């Protein structure tokens, strides 16, 4: 099933790369303020779901652009972000990826994140580790925040938690060596798994942004939680992840900034 996910991710990647130099010709729809989708997002998703549903007719699919399809009762659900980092893609900023995860009875069992520009393929199989282009990857041994390189996502849609977010940013900035906002959550998580970032946090993500990346990090020896340290990140869309030595110190600096709303979301 991992091979099939890889095949689907590469096929979608080909569609994305072919469209890169004619972005000005694409039909772009605004799903909500600052949230865009193009023909490429939709075509890439149809390519992925076509491959997966042909191979596994009994499985369901949930995609960012076309929603849920397939048998409601299936134990297997493929969760797909055909183009994570659409805003980057539309600006020709080369940081975006295809993300495909397979859930079995609510648990992520397989994850693929594919960067078609750099041709980097990140894969994870529950219990069997994580790889980048077939080589094993691990999170960093970074002990605390001093000297750490963190990734994050700055709120772009729902600004209601902007102040809380900026408080977290300010606290984490003090000790970290640097903070990056690259614009594709799926790739940010893959980078934590690969040891390129020591940690990452963001509020307001969807399942398809995170699912494959979460398994990558767990299989690379890292920890993933929501803002309160719990495991409801898929429900509340907030995520904090890092190697096991950095995860606690990050949470300690994030928690004091949680508002009642953010705390309720994790409850």
**Stretch in the footprint of ligand 2AM (CB under 6 A) among 42-50, 81-89, 237-245, 252-260:** 81-89
Q: How many CA atoms lie within 13 A of 129 on its CB side?
A: 9
One residue of 156, 178, 256, 259 binding ligand 2AM per CB under 6 A: 156
Q: Which stretch binds ligand 2AM (CB under 6 A): 83-91, 121-129, 242-250, 256-264?
A: 83-91
Name the site residues for Ca ion (rule: CB under 5 A): 81, 84, 209
Nearer of residues 118 and 143 to ligand 2AM, judged by Cβ: 118
Residue 237 binds which entry of Ca ion, ligand 2AM, none, with Cβ cut-offs from 5 to 8 Å by kind? none
Site for ligand 2AM in 237-266 (CB under 6 A): none
Q: Which of 104, 136, 105, 111 is nearest to 125 (CA)?
A: 111
8 A C-beta contact, residue 139 and residue 222:
yes
Specify the pairing of strand 199-202 against strand 97-104.
Answer: unpaired
For 252, residues 6+ apart whose C-beta sits below 8 A from its C-beta are none
- Cα distance between residue 13 and residue 5, in whole Å: 12
Among Ca ion, ligand 2AM, none, partner that 156 touches (CB below 5 to 8 angstroms by kind): ligand 2AM
Minimum CB separation of residue 194 from ligand 2AM in Å reads 17
Would you say 45 or 81 has its CB closer to Ca ion? Answer: 81
Note whether 64 and 80 are within 8 A (CB): yes
**H/E stretch holding 237:** none
Q: Please give the residue ranges that form the binding site for ligand 2AM (CB under 6 A).
A: 34-35, 64, 81, 84-87, 153, 156, 183-185, 202, 209
């Amino acid at each position: 099933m991992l091979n099939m996910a890889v095949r689907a991710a590469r096929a979608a990647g080909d569609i994305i790369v072919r469209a890169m130099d004619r972005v000005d010709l694409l039909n772009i729809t605004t799903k909500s303020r600052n949230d865009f989708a193009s023909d490429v997002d939709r075509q890439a998703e149809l390519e992925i779901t076509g491959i997966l549903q042909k191979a596994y007719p009994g499985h369901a699919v949930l995609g960012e652009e076309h929603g849920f399809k397939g048998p409601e009762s299936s134990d297997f659900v493929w969760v797909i972000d055909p183009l994570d980092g659409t805003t980057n893609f539309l600006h020709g900023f080369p940081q975006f990826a295809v993300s495909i995860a397979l859930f079995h009875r609510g648990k992520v069992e397989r994850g693929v994140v594919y960067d078609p520009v750099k041709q980097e393929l990140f894969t994870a199989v529950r219990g069997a580790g994580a790889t980048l282009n077939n080589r094993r990857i691990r999170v960093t041994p970074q002990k605390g925040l001093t000297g750490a390189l963190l990734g994050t996502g700055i709120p772009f849609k729902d600004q209601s938690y902007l102040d809380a977010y900026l408080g977290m940013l300010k606290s984490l900035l003090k000790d970290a060596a640097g903070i990056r906002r690259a614009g594709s959550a799926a790739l940010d998580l893959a980078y934590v798994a690969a040891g390129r970032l020591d940690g990452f946090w963001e509020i307001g993500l969807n399942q398809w942004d995170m699912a494959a990346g979460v398994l990558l990090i767990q299989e690379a020896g890292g920890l993933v939680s929501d803002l309160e340290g719990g495991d409801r990140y898929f429900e509340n869309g907030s995520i904090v992840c890092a190697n096991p030595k950095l995860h606690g110190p990050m949470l300690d600096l994030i928690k004091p900034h949680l508002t009642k709303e953010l705390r309720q979301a994790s409850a």
